Structure 1
Amino acid sequence: MEVLIMAGQLILGLSILVGLHELGHLVAAKMFGMKVEKYFIGFPPKVWSIQRGETEYGLGAVPLGGFVKISGMIDESLDTDQMNAEPQPYEFRAKPAWQRLIVMLGGIIVNVIVGIIIFVAIAYSNGDRFLSREEVNRFGIVAGDLAREIGLQTGDKIVKVNGKDFDDFSEAVGSDVFLGSGSSYTVERNGELIDIDIPNNFIEKLSEPEAKGTFIRPAEPFVVGEVVPDTYAEEAGLKANDRIVAVNGKPVQFFHHLQQTLDSLKGKTVALTVQRDNQRETLTSEVTSEGTLGFQAKSLLNYTTVDYTLGQAMVVGTKEAFGVVYNNVKGFGKIFRGEVSASKALSGPIGIARMFGGVWDWGRFWFLTGLLSMVLAFMNALPIPALDGGHSVILLYEMVSGRKPSDRFLENAQKVGMVLLLGLMAFAIFNDVWKAVF
């Protein structure tokens, strides 16, 4: 069932974005009087279509893309018969270069607008909720395996990131740290300040599936939140707002202490010392084979909440949207410099579906759809033949030089671009399968 939910979210998100992207091309083409023969979401074989005027609108069976067929344009259909005839006034090739350029950029522009709208809506609806540096440093961090590899320790207090003060703890684990070069932490440990350097290829280790949760997180005092029905926690009598202070007599202050203790007692019976209404009780519970009891922890750290006006949300959302593009540029830079391998950095449909998760969460769905909209805009803007960016570079050359490339050149460029894109797609899918299996 989880696989179906992942696939469903991926297909819905991509269908929305691809449909709007191709709609950008269609609207721009019709605005300049070009004939649009087909508008399809999904690739052939055709599942359904309807004719409206000169355009056939339809759905394809392969839901990972879409296309618009504009008369007189060399595209993935490679319809050379049409190109051998005399240009007609309604054809793409008969229009001025600046109009053709706008048509090619129409999809990218729509994806950028959609991405910005989604991020603005999220910022306006949710505001911001974060842990301040001061709040985290009340108790310090919990250092996972990867954190200890670079010299961090549980209890460290991070006072600077890349030599600068910071307000939001998420900045300590953000893109500026892992996608930049020469990043570092300044931590306070036993009253001393220590600089911890972060390797330039460290993000490669963080991208490993098994690395999840093995870097840093705040040390969190906690109480019992929601008790899951039909679990050992419910059978033991745990209630919301109970505070577990000891397990088998071993003191527990933070949630990571409880996790570590239960991990060592999997499948066993334990005595839980619980603080409830200023009184202490002892409860007996089983521990699952995964080292859990069956409740959600409620953090006692004080989160800072910020509500945005519409104007503020527009600024914040736009910044976050373009931050996605900026991070993609920095990520490609790391690949080209050899600091990160492409196999670790790139994901295909399977990897993206896993990002959506096996539970349908509309908040996460729209966030990832906004992120993908900006990624699609960035990828389509790359100067690769067969992509919008490749077509745009050729059109810019024509506008500057005054010379139009031959149809044969355009056809060969399209073929080269399609080979590159199909190769990249095959690599991404194979890479996803490899990471999933091994």
Structure 2
Amino acid sequence: MLTVTWSLATVLWVVGAVLFFVVGLAASIALHEVGHLLPAKRFGVKVTQYMVGFGSTVWSRQRGETEYGVKAVPLGGYIRMIGMFPPRPGQDPSVVRESSTGIFQTMADDARRLSAEEVGPDDAHRQFWQLSVPRRVVVMLGGPAMNALLAVLLLGGTAVTLGVAPQTTTTVGLVQECVLPAGSTATECPADAPPTPAAAAGLEAGDVVVSFDGRPVEDWQQLRADIRDAAGRRVPLVVERAGERVDLTIAPIPNEVVRLDDDGDPVLDDAGVPLTEEAGFVGFSPTQERRAQPVSDVPGLVADAFVRTVTVVVSLPVRMVDVAQAAFGSEPRDPEGPVGIVGVGRLSGEIAAIDQFSAGDKVSLLLGTMGGLNMALFVFNLLPLLPLDGGHVAGALYEGARRRVAALRRRPDPGPFDVARLMPVAYVVGGLLVAMSVLLVYADIVRPVTLLG
């Protein structure tokens, strides 16, 4: 069981972890908006504001035509581009509706569209809707792409430097001295208890298993399988001890164990009862170490994180029902379910406080958490719903497809697709996002996901 012993060092770790989370979140949001800002400016769109956060402005500075600033609540951000939406058919193109890439800011701007703003003569050709479809897609995908890049750098960089979760090694950690009956609570070996095969063979803590039954040992999974298959036989065992190889002989004894499948999960019969089988037992436990992974493993690690995130996002409606039942009822909180900003901050603090985690474990887990957060921002923002980035991308792609079909059929150009017509959907989606955020904050406070059980 994971435990926490409070001390000055623990408090400093927790404070540092929470600050890391806050700064990391703000930086992720800021870079997301940079991903929109740079291509927008590169393509000539006039960007009037670049803001990190919402609420009242804490600091801002005007540089050229763009105001850069930080707002009080660092839970989002936006850039403001003129001409986000095209004019209605027949409307003067010099009169535009102005909006932004920020989720909640977009909803606020929708109300302002009742009063259309005129664009000066110098800006009439610098409106977002006038960009070609590919350029609009690039601008809107720039933010999520930045989060994807951060996720790859954080997850991959952590894996190749600090390593991922501690892995079981082929090094002997503890040798059990005697064989005790199942269910025994004895802490010392009785006089008549037989020695374990590991003790009888002369295995010592720190020995590295090199080969078993004449077969080179590559990892713990292989060694465990070989031990299970060697029940009742005497087999040669080679270990490395103090830099030298030592030849031993070990005789795994038969033991009734639960049968496992290739994924390590119990195999059940039709009634749901675990099946058992005879397997070898030697009586030693291996050590666990955090090992750096080769660069070649990074694509697989990132792909796994992406698939897990997509699975959560796709099942989000059902999972949010589970969160509500846990928050307002007696149902337990799903540790694999969605967690809000408060919950992630809490988990960061717990990671920093847990006694069983080394400093390397804590740093690796915190970096991995931030990488996972950026992966979630990447996937979530790709949903084809306004006011998310994916909604604007979907609108641009629909416009491109519509124009392409019209050209193939030799029909007049239908013109730009008025994404503003979908704003009622944006209001609904925005309202749901607000409700979801509030629910997660409440659930993270009254029924949090915790590592401490």
Q: Same fold (TM over 0.5)?
A: yes
What amino acid sits opposite 2:382 in the alignment? A
Q: Which position in structure 2 is the counterpart of 1:99?
A: 135
Q: Radius of gyration: which is bigger?
A: 2
Write the mapping of 1:60-71 to structure 2, written as runs, cut at 5 A. 60-71=71-82
- Separation in structure 1 between the aligned mates of residue 320 and residue 48 of structure 2, nearest angstrom: 45
- Separation in structure 1 between the aligned mates of residue 302 and residue 321 of structure 2, nearest angstrom: 24
Asked if 1 retains the 8 angstrom alpha-carbon contact of 2:83 and 2:127, the reply is yes
- Separation in structure 2 between the aligned mates of residue 189 and residue 380 of structure 1, nearest angstrom: 55
Asked if 2 retains the 8 angstrom alpha-carbon contact of 1:28 and 1:103, the reply is yes
Task: Give the secondary-structure state (helix, strand or coil) at the position aligned to 1:28.
Answer: helix
How large is the RMSD of aligned CA atoms in angstroms? 3.9
By how many angstroms is 1:60 displaced?
0.5
1:325 aligns with 2:306: yes
1:191 aligns with 2:256: yes
- Separation in structure 2 between the aligned mates of residue 430 and residue 375 of structure 1, nearest angstrom: 20
Q: Which position in structure 2 is the counterpart of 1:426?
A: 438
- Separation in structure 1 between the aligned mates of residue 314 and residue 387 of structure 2, nearest angstrom: 23
Q: Which position in structure 2 is the counterpart of 1:391?
A: 392
By how many angstroms is 1:424 displaced?
1.6
Which ranges in structure 1 are unaligned for 5 or more consecutive residues?
140-165, 170-187, 200-252, 255-299
Change over 3 Å in CA distance of 1:331–1:414 after alignment to 2: closer
TM-superposition CA deviations, 1:257-296 (whole Å, max 9, x none): xxxxxxxxxxxxxxxxxxxxxxxxxxxxxxxxxxxxxxxx
What amino acid sits opposite 2:390 in the alignment? G
TM-superposition CA deviations, 1:78-108 (whole Å, max 9, x none): 3416756478211111211221111000001
What amino acid sits opposite 2:427 in the alignment? K
TM-superposition CA deviations, 1:54-77 (whole Å, max 9, x none): 111110100111111111123413
By how many angstroms is 1:194 displaced?
3.0
- Separation in structure 2 between the aligned mates of residue 111 and residue 29 of structure 1, nearest angstrom: 17
What amino acid sits opposite 1:390 in the alignment? G
Which ranges in structure 2 are unaligned for 5 or more consecutive residues?
1-10, 85-98, 101-105, 177-217, 222-252, 269-282, 325-333, 354-361, 404-413
What amino acid sits opposite 2:72 in the alignment? A
What amino acid sits opposite 1:414 in the alignment? A
Task: Give the secondary-structure state (helix, strand or coil) at the position aligned to 2:286.
Answer: coil
Task: Give the secondary-structure state (helix, strand or coil) at the position aligned to 1:123.
Answer: helix
TM-superposition CA deviations, 1:305-357 (whole Å, max 9, x none): 7555xxx32x3233222322201223345566789924431211111101211
What amino acid sits opposite 1:322 in the alignment? A
By how many angstroms is 1:431 displaced?
1.9
1:80 aligns with 2:81: no
What amino acid sits opposite 2:287 in the alignment? N
- Separation in structure 2 between the aligned mates of residue 63 and residue 5 of structure 1, nearest angstrom: 18
What amino acid sits opposite 2:113 in the alignment? T
Q: Which position in structure 2 is the counterpart of 1:415?
A: 427
Asked if 2 retains the 8 angstrom alpha-carbon contact of 1:89 and 1:95, the reply is no
Q: Which position in structure 2 is the counterpart of 1:131?
A: 168
Write the mapping of 1:22-421 to structure 2, written as runs, cut at 5 A. 22-73=33-84, 74-75=99-100, 76=106, 77-78=109-110, 79-80=112-113, 85=118, 88-127=124-163, 129-132=166-169, 190-194=255-259, 301-303=286-288, 306-308=291-293, 312-313=294-295, 315-332=296-313, 341-343=322-324, 344=334, 345-357=337-349, 359=352, 361-402=362-403, 403=414, 404-406=416-418, 408-421=420-433
Q: Which position in structure 2 is the counterpart of 1:246?
A: none
By how many angstroms is 1:189 displaced?
8.9
Change over 3 Å in CA distance of 1:424–1:136 after alignment to 2: farther
- Separation in structure 2 between the aligned mates of residue 436 and residue 326 of structure 1, nearest angstrom: 24
- Separation in structure 2 between the aligned mates of residue 393 and residue 103 of structure 1, nearest angstrom: 13
Change over 3 Å in CA distance of 1:394–1:135 after alignment to 2: farther
- Separation in structure 1 between the aligned mates of residue 449 and residue 303 of structure 2, nearest angstrom: 34
Q: Which position in structure 2 is the counterpart of 1:284?
A: none
Larger CA deviation: 87-96 vs 353-362: 353-362
Task: Give the secondary-structure state (helix, strand or coil) at the position aligned to 1:419.
Answer: helix
Q: Which position in structure 2 is the counterpart of 1:208?
A: none
What amino acid sits opposite 2:168 in the alignment? L
Change over 3 Å in CA distance of 1:80–1:354 after alignment to 2: same
Percent same amino acid among aligned pairs? 26
